[in-house]
Amino acid sequence: MIINSLDIEGFRSMKNVHWAPNNLNLIIGPNGAGKSNLLRFLELMTISAQAHLGKHIQSLGGMEPLVWDGQAKRIGCKLKMFDEKKIIAL
């Protein structure tokens, strides 16, 4: 499966981000722009799909370090993935 688009809201330094990757992607930018947090979010989605989300969040110190500016009420995401036969939206 291939990520078609990803919208992230309220995760770490990413208040509201839209990403539409291509086949090959370079993630560049200044320090504090959110490059590592994009990768951390993808890791979080992988861990969630493996049913280990609760333990992983506990190991990070709970939800407070994960939410934008330590103040967001929730973390939201919209993920569209492309399978050779269909588009899957989560």
For 9-63, how does the pLDDT look when each residue is reduced to its tens digit (9 = 90+)? 999 888 899 999 988 999 999 998 889 999 999 999 889 889 998 898 889 888 8
Position 88 pLDDT exceeds 80? no
Amino acid 6: pLDDT: 94
For 74-86, how does the pLDDT look when each residue is reduced to its tens digit (9 = 90+)? 889 998 887 766 6
14-19 β-sheet, strand order? 14-19, 2-11, 76-82, 87-89
